[in-house]
Structure 1
């Protein structure tokens, strides 16, 4: 564990003859990785629970990431531009921060936070007296001692790094400036009326960081630091920032966490950079779809989704607000990739390509990406983002330049999602301490498909009698769902209602069941005695047992179960088996719709995402209804066809081009700028319908192949028989090379 065997990875676009062009990655044993993951999880729980790490640091925290920092930064800039303020942004670059940060900084922080003695001893042993050696061409170098730096490649190294780097955030909090940190990427920004004022503040900050650097080992690379001024004025003068005789350049655009921001926040430069990246990836698609390629269409679509759409998706909710002309810079490469993946003819309409591939348009994807921010905004782990959301909701003045957060909240209203923004706190108790004895699952020993309800009922009564002898009380929960609403109820075994309530229309039965269990746990905590909560929702019990499930309802319920494990248990019972308490809970949950009830605002993330997907599907279908093309006859529901795995790529290509309605013989004239082709046999306009159904030249072949079937009807269903029949027809008509 204390010796590293680095594997050197090449840094892109760096000279191969320099050692600095390679990044050393430690190769660790699997046993070491497992142990380090366990320790890392425990340390992270401790520091997050006690809020030791600043909320400005968003790296390596569950449920947080670069998008949190970008949303906060973009909202800040959008607000400043709307109010005609000037914003100065300083980007700091730390030179080899992982390799140079001092071990003593990590130990100092852990000691200050009073971490457990055993964990502290492990960390101290892990970080000190380390050695490494490099293996090249099968030979090892001499062992070298490592006195400074965080060991890279270890699961626990990132935790140590953000612990040490948290001291930077404490320095910045002394000044009336905003900042965001992702690992060692530090961004400082401030509204002001002049550059001199901000430069004075930046100088003081750099002075303090320089003092910290002397004692920590980390150092700023001033040559790589940049400053950018963002405002609505077109000809605002640019002045370089000079600190300790080193020039910090004032740039026109600045790349921040993967998104390029420019002076006017129009994201044109980002789209230009993105186009270059997409074009290089497009070469992979072109190679995979070359003439001799035999790759299945489905595989090519998946490659396009990963290589092209995956890159476009990152930050789309932020940079997608740019002008449509700017967005077109990205669209061209995306459409080309789809066309090549389908092996479609170059003149095929874009709407046909998107429907056939099952991929969204960029406009639809932008809207979907914005809507998918809703669960993050309404239930976030970051207090800074939570504050931003509350400010946007309460602000009555409409911003001239809307932010991504504002757009998401406005669109949430359009699809009838109304929630109260809440901040998701860290687990109050360690989740790994959840005892298995809390869950009573004896009835699961009987398979529901083959077990009579009488056996279930008798077994339950035996368990109930034993529990009552031991002083346990039983309460029952159930959830219900109808088209326009969801509801839940918590009752006693005799049918007395403890709590019942409504949920929003987009909530699922799963959310209703979880809410019922959560309310039942609160009731058990607030009252004397020991309680067994009986539920027929196996999915709810599994979610409580799954420590990786981070739904707010699940985590809150799990915390209380661990804390009050001696007085609360959860028991699974089968539904609709004549168990009296379950029948009462089921009836009470269904009766909620018939009387005025309190509406609970709880939700699960999957429900909102499903609501977003339903809304987007409806939007796609409404746009599809206005599409006027013959392809609509073959794909009325705008669904992606699934080709059989046994069909060949040549068969798929012919079938797809005929479905899409554009082939070489019918539409090549558009590329050559020639008149529309005419059938030499019957002097009619040449089209797919004419070739398949009406041309007398192929009458005999048509009768032999299709009999009484209508050839174009075969294009509606992509089964193997239809694909082979169409292909044989085109082959016998000697039209393969012309399709």
Structure 2
């Protein structure tokens, strides 16, 4: 990167614009409407040859003025317009929609948040104290027009996601040695039945046979769902049902694991001697079977399984296909 005395980044961005010109010329050549490449290939070339140059150091030069950063916008828009074969008068928003490419402002915001998230769990990272610093917050709050440092921009991006959102800067370490935890009992016999060709009634009969082998076990059904409002999880017993709202930005996999964790806590709280946790998430069962994992919620599940075994309780995990009436 080219540094200037006042860190205005004009020299560096001019160098980036010059370096990207050869890639744009290649796109113009290959976009010939008679023998040229298809749109997806041209966009792939853009991401490889041009956007990669723009991305390099973008979280640093994001502190440049808006007028200076517009030099990059012209490269970005010209390359996408060439790849799509769009008119010069086509609105930039339409270009972004058709190509699936975000604006460079959103791209820099995404890369900045990705970098902050990557180092948030490592307190020994050289840049940790600078990225998550709260120095001079009042100063920058009063003088919004001055150039904000990286950590101030990160706080601004996070507040746009959610006012109460913050990076988790504490990485959990499993308190119990993984090799001392007994492998959970998991019954995966039902996956041998292909749901697409097997009648639901037959799968239900097989499931009832499985339950007949453990007649004294309390059945706990877990599930999760995702909507525009976020992820929800729940577990149901013969006597009660429990619902939970999970992290708005969580995945359905996280929701399934969260429901299983709450079911295990229920087993410990109500001192259930024999229990079967029934889920339709095969990936969750496979994750629980793994001895080593750095997934935080899987660690919590392993600790709950360890606590259940320490109290000489019996627990089994059953997998059932989804949407078969079980």
Same fold (TM over 0.5): yes
Q: Tell me whether 1:476 sits opposite 2:224 in the alignment.
A: no
For 1:320-469, what aligned pairs fall within 5 Å after superposition? 320-343=62-85, 347-349=88-90, 351=92, 353-370=95-112, 376=117, 380-384=120-124, 391-392=133-134, 397-399=138-140, 401-416=147-162, 418-422=164-168, 423-425=170-172, 438-468=185-215
CA–CA separation in structure 2 for the residues paired with 1:568 and 1:267: 61
**Per the alignment, in what secondary structure is the counterpart of residue 397 of structure 1?**
helix
The range that moved more, 556-565 or 455-464, is 556-565
Unaligned runs of 5+ in 1: 1-254, 580-739
1:112-167 residue CA offsets vs partner (Å, 9 max, x unmatched): xxxxxxxxxxxxxxxxxxxxxxxxxxxxxxxxxxxxxxxxxxxxxxxxxxxxxxxx
Higher relative contact order (CA 8 A, sep 6+): 2
* Cα-Cα RMSD: 4.3
CA–CA separation in structure 2 for the residues paired with 1:338 and 1:356: 9
**Per the alignment, in what secondary structure is the counterpart of residue 448 of structure 1?**
coil
Query: How far is 1:516 from its partner?
Result: 0.9
For 1:157-196, what aligned pairs fall within 5 Å after superposition? none
Residues 524 and 568, structure 1, Cα contact 8 Å, conserved in 2: no
Counterpart of 2:297 (choices 553, 576, 588) is 553
Residues 477 and 491, structure 1, Cα contact 8 Å, conserved in 2: yes
Counterpart of 1:536 (choices 267, 272, 280) is 280
Quote the residue 1:311 is aligned against: 53
**Per the alignment, in what secondary structure is the counterpart of residue 439 of structure 1?**
strand
Quote the residue 1:302 is aligned against: 44
For 1:505-544, what aligned pairs fall within 5 Å after superposition? 505-507=248-250, 509-524=252-267, 529=273, 531-542=275-286, 544=288
Q: Relative to 1, partners in 2 of residues 1:490 and 1:357: Cα closer, same or farther, differing over 3 Å?
A: closer
How many residues are paired up? 313
Query: How far is 1:304 from its partner?
Result: 0.8
Residues 233 and 244, structure 2, Cα contact 8 Å, conserved in 1: yes
For 1:525-674, what aligned pairs fall within 5 Å after superposition? 529=273, 531-542=275-286, 544=288, 551-554=295-298, 556-557=300-301, 568-575=315-322, 577=324, 579=326
Quote the residue 1:278 is aligned against: 20
Q: Relative to 1, partners in 2 of residues 1:544 and 1:354: Cα closer, same or farther, differing over 3 Å?
A: same
CA–CA separation in structure 2 for the residues paired with 1:536 and 1:569: 14
Quote the residue 1:490 is aligned against: 235
Query: How far is 1:360 from its partner?
Result: 3.0
Unaligned runs of 5+ in 2: 141-145
1:262-312 residue CA offsets vs partner (Å, 9 max, x unmatched): 543333343234334323444543453469853223311221122212332
CA–CA separation in structure 2 for the residues paired with 1:456 and 1:515: 26
CA–CA separation in structure 2 for the residues paired with 1:300 and 1:341: 5
Residues 184 and 317, structure 2, Cα contact 8 Å, conserved in 1: no
CA–CA separation in structure 2 for the residues paired with 1:326 and 1:363: 13
Quote the residue 1:78 is aligned against: none
TM-score w.r.t. the length of structure 1 is 0.36
Query: How far is 1:372 from its partner?
Result: 5.2
CA–CA separation in structure 1 for the residues paired with 2:296 and 2:112: 22
